[in-house]
Chain A
Amino acid sequence: MISAPRTATDRTKLPYCHESFHNLQELRHSASLANKVFIQRDYTDGTVCKFQTKFPSELDSRIERTLFEDTVKTLNNYYAEAEKIGGQSYLEGCLACLTVYLIFLCIETRYEKVLKKISRYIQEQNEKVYAPRGLLITDPIERGMRVIEISVYEDRGSSGSSSGSSTTSSSGR
Chain B
Amino acid sequence: MKNREYQQIDPQALATPTPTPPPRPLPEHKTKRARRKWEVFPGKNRFYCDGRIIVARQSGVLPLTLGLILLTSGLFFIFDCPFLVKHLTSCIPAIGGVLFVFVIISLLQTSFTDPGILPRATPEEAADIEKQIDNPAASSSSYRPPPRTKEVVINQQVVKLKYCFTCKIFRPPRTSHCSLCDNCVERFDHHCPWVGNCVGKRNYRFFYTFIVSLSFLTAFIFGCVTTHLALRSQEGNGLVFALQASPASALELVVCFFSVWSILGLSGFHTYLVAANLTTNEDIKGSWSGKSGNEDVGNPYSYNSLIKNCCSVLCGPMPPSLIDRRGFVPSDDSVQTSPVEIELPAAKNDINMVGRAVTSGRPPPPPPPVVTLQQPAISIQSHSTA
Contacts and interface: CB of A to CB of B under 8 A. Distances in A.
Interface of A: 1-10, 12-14, 17-18, 20-21, 24-25, 28-29, 32-33, 36, 38, 41, 43-47, 82-85, 89-90, 92-94, 96-97, 100-102, 104, 109-112, 115, 123, 126, 136-139, 141-147, 149, 151, 165-167, 169-171, 173
B320 interface: yes
Q: Counting chain A CB atoms within 10 Å of each CB, which of B106, B315, B350, B376 scores highest? A: B376
16 contacts: A4-B202, A7-B320, A7-B321, A18-B23, A24-B373, A28-B370, A43-B172, A47-B186, A93-B314, A93-B316, A100-B106, A109-B317, A146-B121, A149-B372, A165-B350, A171-B342
Contact of B317 (A18, A24, A33, A83): A83
Contact of B320 (A141, A146, A151, A169): A141
A74 to B, nearest CB: 18
Given A2-B53, A149-B125, A18 B113 contact: no
Contacts of A144: 118-119, 322-323
Nearest to A5: B320
A167 B312 CA distance: 48
A99 B161 CA distance: 37
B383 A9 contact: yes
A43 B173 contact: yes
Contacts of A111: 317-320
A165 B128 CA distance: 13
A146 B128 CA distance: 13
A32 B125 CA distance: 19
Q: 7 smallest A-B Cβ distances: which pairs?
A: A93-B315, A33-B369, A171-B341, A5-B320, A167-B345, A12-B376, A12-B379
Given A109-B318, A136-B372, A85 B380 contact: no
A113 to B, nearest CB: 10
Contacts of A126: 372-373
A85 B339 contact: no
Contact of B373 (A1, A21, A41, A90): A21
B161 A85 contact: no
Nearest to A91: B315
Contact of A5 (B1, B122, B172, B321): B321
A46 B379 contact: no
Given A4-B113, A92-B318, 13 more contacts: A5-B321, A6-B386, A7-B321, A7-B323, A9-B379, A33-B370, A38-B124, A43-B154, A43-B159, A44-B152, A90-B311, A110-B317, A171-B341
B52 interface: yes
Contacts of A3: 52
A12 B369 contact: no
Nearest to A111: B317
Contacts of B345: 167, 169-170
Q: Counting chain B CB atoms within 10 Å of each CB, which of A2, A14, A18 scores highest? A: A2
Nearest to A36: B124
Contact of A136 (B161, B169, B373): B373
Interface string B123-154: 01100100000000000000000000000111
Contact of B125 (A25, A147, A151, A167): A147
Contact of A101 (B206, B300, B338, B353): B206
A137 B308 CA distance: 36
A8 B327 contact: yes
Contacts of A13: 379-380, 383
B324 interface: yes
A61 B315 CA distance: 45
Contacts of B101: 100
Contact of A93 (B202, B206, B311): B311
Given A7-B327, A144-B118, A171-B342, A101 B205 contact: yes
A90 B308 CA distance: 10
Contact of B372 (A5, A10, A137, A165): A137
